[in-house]
């Protein structure tokens, strides 16, 4: 099964189980540096995404402060409504701390933090300074998103084979 970079790990097992394995190995005098290093990288990804968001907006002469940003997908993986340990929490919190005007669209998640929920299909995406694909649900019309958005950050690699009218960046 191939794995691709993303905005971080979530769910009830993948972020936690390797830490148990690492702890157990250390109790036997074995030091699993690779597991610990992978965990460090995975936990830093939301911060990396926020840094990319800031850089993209700066290239457009915009600040995160006051920027209208739409997070597409906030569950921890595609096509489910489970938000346990979702990287969208850290991304959203950091952007709110930076005074971004956040909205989110997720067909599986009714409420998320104190962020306004919108229906991606009914939005004029050109009204957003940036659209961030955090979780790639099958319901999202990626071609439409690329056609109508001014600026897109693809954190899931769903735009790899697509042309875009929007300015597009990928992790």
| pLDDT computed for residue 32 by the predictor | 86
Sheet with 116-117: strands ordered across: 116-117, 101-105, 68-72, 130-133, 151-154, 167-170
Domains of the chain are: 46-170 (3.40.50.720)
| pLDDT computed for residue 45 by the predictor | 96
Q: Out of 10-14, 86-90, 120-124, which region has the weakest mean confidence (pLDDT)?
A: 10-14
Residue 163 has pLDDT above 80, yes or no: no
pLDDT band at residue 23 under the 50/70/90 scheme: confident
Query: How is residue 95 written in tokens?
Result: 């952007």
As a dihedral over the C-alpha atoms of residue 60, residue 62, residue 67, residue 68, rounded to 10 degrees, the angle is -20
Q: Out of 7-16, 29-38, 122-131, which region has the weakest mean confidence (pLDDT)?
A: 7-16
| pLDDT computed for residue 165 by the predictor | 66
| pLDDT computed for residue 162 by the predictor | 78
Q: Which residues are catalytic?
A: 13
Residue 54 has pLDDT above 70, yes or no: yes
Residues of the chain above pLDDT 70, percent: 96
Residue 41 has pLDDT above 80, yes or no: yes
Those residues whose C-beta lies under 8 Å from the C-beta of residue 139, and which sit 6 or more positions away, are 107, 120
The predicted model scores a pTM of: 0.90
**Sequential DSSP letters for 54-106:** HHHHHHTT--STT-EEEEE--SSSTT----TT-HHHHHHHHHHHTT-EEEEE-
* Residue among 91, 97, 84 nearest 171 (CA): 91
Q: Out of 31-45, 115-129, 144-158, which region has the weakest mean confidence (pLDDT)?
A: 31-45
Q: What is the pLDDT of residues 133-146, one digit of tens each?
A: 999 999 999 999 99
pLDDT band at residue 166 under the 50/70/90 scheme: low
Cα separation, 139 vs 141, whole angstroms:
6
Those residues whose C-beta lies under 8 Å from the C-beta of residue 6, and which sit 6 or more positions away, are 45, 87, 155, 156, 171
Q: What is the pLDDT of residues 58-93, one digit of tens each?
A: 999 999 999 999 999 999 999 999 999 999 999 999
């Amino acid at each position: 099964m191939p794995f691709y970079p993303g905005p971080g790990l979530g769910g009830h097992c993948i972020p936690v189980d390797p830490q148990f394995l690492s702890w157990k190995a250390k109790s036997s005098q074995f030091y699993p540096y690779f597991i610990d290093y992978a965990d460090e990288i995975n936990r830093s990804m939301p911060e990396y995404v926020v840094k990319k968001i800031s850089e993209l907006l700066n290239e457009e002469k915009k600040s995160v402060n006051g920027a209208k940003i739409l997070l597409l997908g906030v569950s921890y993986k595609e096509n489910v409504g489970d938000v346990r340990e979702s990287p969208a929490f850290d991304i959203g919190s950091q952007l709110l701390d930076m005074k971004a005007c956040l909205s989110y669209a997720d067909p599986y998640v009714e409420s998320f933090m104190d962020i306004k929920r919108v229906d991606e299909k009914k939005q004029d995406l050109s009204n957003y300074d940036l659209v961030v694909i955090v979780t790639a649900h099958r319901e999202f019309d990626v071609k439409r998103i690329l056609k109508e958005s001014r600026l897109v950050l693809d954190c899931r690699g769903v735009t790899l084979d697509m042309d875009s009218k929007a300015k597009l960046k990928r992790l």
